[in-house]
């Protein structure tokens, strides 16, 4: 009789190594919360075997842009329900929280969550409590000392800063507010995430001010001042990327246009970070979750080999979560694993009133630190959720 060596073996799936950018059909063995072996034919040594044939096996997903300040902000979705139960084991809140509300975020959201949460702290002390009232319309709410103090005292959570540069948020003071935000991010040694779309000024002017490592949110927005001109990615966007400025795909309620994404992807302009911008405003549609955002971009031309690193290792590195074993699937590392499977063809909406018909990606099995996570069904199937 073969000796039992592993608690669990995920057998025969297509297993991704997002660091190497490769995949192979093989087995993944888990013991005591860690990845014990990645090799073919391990099933005979397992206490439990899950057949993953025909499924995609990857590191637990990392969401680089979401809004999870539940019960305080009107845009806050419940983190575990919106993310963990849909295959995402770690996520970054993108500016829902400002310095004045950070203590509540830490106590009531980060601490009780079953998943790992970090954030981009809003440069306004108010944060994004209620999107009807721009948090920087009073520019005095940008208090650099407060933001810096919160970042300094909470390095386990604060991994960057966020400014929303829409006209209804910053008014006409966008340039001085962006400068102050960049200065404080430089002081803290952290990146700045900048929300584009609906900006007063054309995008090149904004991009010219950003530093390597800063993140432009919503690269496939269909709103004015986006990345395309005459159906081509504008040179300033390519220049910014060449300098190390990053672009996230943050779908959001109103910032993914299939038309823009299809053209940009055809040109080879892929997001550095594949993110969903899930919030209480969109988690029942049109965004739903990160895996549905990924399925949409796959339908528009991205391959799984291009998709997987952008929702695992790339955000994990940017958020400093790779050092905790997020974003990778390696022998000896923590068993954060997401297994996805293709579904039937489904009509999927963008944020601009268009739709495509494509298979969705659904979490078939999720492990966080080796613990099996109970998954939730796709919320498009049950609008009452």
CA dist., res. 44 & res. 49, Å (int) = 9
Residue 277 is a binding residue for Zn ion (CB under 5 A): yes
Residue 322 is a binding residue for Zn ion (CB under 5 A): no
CA dist., res. 340 & res. 343, Å (int) = 10
Nearer to Zn ion, 277 or 322 (CB): 277
Q: Segment near Zn ion (CB under 5 A), from 130-138, 148-156, 270-278, 350-358?
A: 270-278
Tell which one of 38, 50, 94, 367 touches Zn ion (CB under 5 A).
Answer: 94
Q: Segment near Zn ion (CB under 5 A), from 45-53, 86-94, 97-105, 346-354?
A: 86-94
H or E, element range at 148: helix 144-153
Residue 123 is a binding residue for Zn ion (CB under 5 A): no
Q: Segment near Zn ion (CB under 5 A), from 47-55, 277-285, 293-301, 359-367?
A: 277-285
Nearer to Zn ion, 57 or 311 (CB): 311
Q: Segment near Zn ion (CB under 5 A), from 92-100, 146-154, 231-239, 307-315?
A: 92-100
Q: Where are the alpha helices (DSSP H) in 160-249?
A: 167-170, 174-188, 203-207, 235-243
Nearer to Zn ion, 163 or 300 (CB): 163
Nearer to Zn ion, 58 or 118 (CB): 118
Task: Write down the least CB distance from residue 94 to Zn ion, Å.
Answer: 5
Rg (CA), the chain: 20
CA dist., res. 147 & res. 185, Å (int) = 9
Task: Write down the least CB distance from residue 125 to Zn ion, Å.
Answer: 18
Nearer to Zn ion, 169 or 335 (CB): 169
CA dist., res. 218 & res. 254, Å (int) = 9
- Burial (CB < 10 A; 0-12, 13-18, 19+), residue 175, is middle
Token readout for 77 is 């979705």
Residue 260 is a binding residue for Zn ion (CB under 5 A): no
- Burial (CB < 10 A; 0-12, 13-18, 19+), residue 2, is exposed
Task: Write down the least CB distance from residue 129 to Zn ion, Å.
Answer: 14
| Interface residues toward Zn ion, by CB under 5 A | 94, 277
């Amino acid at each position: 009789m073969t000796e039992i060596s592993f608690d669990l073996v995920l057998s025969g799936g297509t297993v991704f190594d997002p660091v190497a950018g490769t995949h192979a059909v093989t087995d993944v063995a888990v013991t005591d919360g860690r990845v014990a072996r990645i090799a073919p034919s391990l099933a005979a040594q397992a206490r439990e075997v899950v057949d993953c044939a025909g499924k995609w096996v990857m590191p637990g997903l990392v969401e680089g842009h979401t809004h999870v300040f539940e019960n305080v902000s009107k845009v806050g979705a419940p983190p575990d329900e919106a993310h963990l139960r849909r295959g995402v084991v770690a996520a970054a809140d993108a500016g829902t929280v400002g310095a004045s509300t950070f203590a509540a975020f830490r106590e009531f959201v980060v601490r009780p969550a079953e998943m790992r949460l970090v954030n981009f702290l809003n440069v306004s002390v108010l944060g994004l409590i209620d999107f009807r009232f721009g948090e920087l319309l009073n520019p005095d709410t940008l208090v650099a000392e407060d933001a810096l103090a919160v970042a300094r005292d909470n390095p386990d959570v604060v991994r960057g800063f966020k400014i929303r540069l829409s006209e209804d948020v910053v008014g006409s003071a966008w340039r001085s507010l962006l400068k102050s935000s960049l200065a404080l991010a430089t002081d803290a040694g952290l990146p700045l995430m900048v929300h584009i779309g609906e900006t007063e000024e054309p995008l090149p002017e904004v991009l010219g001010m950003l530093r390597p490592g800063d993140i432009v949110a919503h690269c496939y927005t269909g709103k004015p001042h986006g990345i395309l001109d005459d159906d081509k990615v504008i040179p300033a966007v390519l220049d910014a990327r060449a300098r190390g400025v990053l672009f996230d795909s943050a779908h959001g309620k109103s910032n993914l246009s299939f038309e823009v994404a299809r053209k940009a992807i055809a040109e080879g302009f892929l997001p550095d970070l594949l993110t969903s911008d899930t919030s209480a405003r969109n988690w029942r549609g049109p965004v739903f979750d990160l895996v549905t955002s990924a399925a949409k971009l796959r339908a528009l031309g991205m391959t799984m080999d291009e998709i997987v690193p952008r929702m695992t290792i790339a955000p994990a590195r940017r958020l400093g979560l790779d050092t905790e074993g997020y974003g990778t699937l390696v022998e000896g590392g923590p068993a954060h694993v997401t297994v996805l499977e293709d579904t039937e063809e489904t009509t999927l909406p963008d944020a601009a009133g268009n739709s495509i018909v494509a298979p969705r990606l659904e979490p078939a099995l999720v492990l966080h630190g080796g613990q099996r996570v109970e998954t939730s069904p796709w919320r498009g199937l049950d609008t009452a959720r």
